[in-house]
Amino acid sequence: MLGHILNFQFGGFYGGDIGNLLSYWEQAGVFSYVLPFLLIFAVVFGILTRTNIFGQGNKGLNTVISVVIGLLALQFEIVPFFFSDIFPRLGIGLSVILVLLILIGMFLPAGNVSAVNYLLLGVAIITFIIIITKSFGELGFGSSNIGYFIYSNLPTIAIIIIVIVAVGAVVGAGAPRAPEFPTPVWRSQ
């Protein structure tokens, strides 16, 4: 039995029992309908519960609204197609960030954490922009508009980002410290 479970690859055949199971789930619509519905339901339910828009303790109403939004989102093929496009790209982006994190850990000293955090934040933002641009381009959502706009205005966008980061660094460095209260007169004597 263990041999059937661990049969991931044999020669040129990939999959085995786990591959067959995933293929069956794909044919049954688990990846196209069930998982996107659960993701949309969980996010909407979490937002409604956290914000308490309908008052405290209205989990039934939050559940009904979350189910309706989840089902309406799956009415057309655009949501499953978008999810099937963006999440593999997200996996690749996370892999790039993980490799960068490993390389940073190998070559930078351990005490330089703040610079590493800003570097990783910058790489994450760039990765996010690439993932969104490529996903929208594949889906035809303004592929000629968004992709072309970013491509043709990349120097301007880079300058704007650099200015925003510089202003943020200056404002963050010059932030006032907590006020120190003077010692009361009766304690100083």
DSSP 49-82: HHHTTT-TT-HHHHHHHHHHHHHHHTSSTHHHHH
Element (H, E) at 173: helix 154-173
Select the more confidently predicted residue: 35 or 129: 35
Res. 95: pLDDT tops 80: yes
Q: What is the band of 132 on the pLDDT scale with cuts at 50, 70, 90?
A: confident
Select the more confidently predicted residue: 93 or 110: 93
Res. 150: pLDDT tops 80: no
Q: Which pLDDT score is estimated for 182? A: 61
Residue extents of the structural domains in the chain = 1-75, 77-173
Contacts of 75 (CB under 8 A, 6+ apart): none
Res. 87: pLDDT tops 70: yes
Return phi, psi of residue 77, to 5°.
Answer: -75, 0
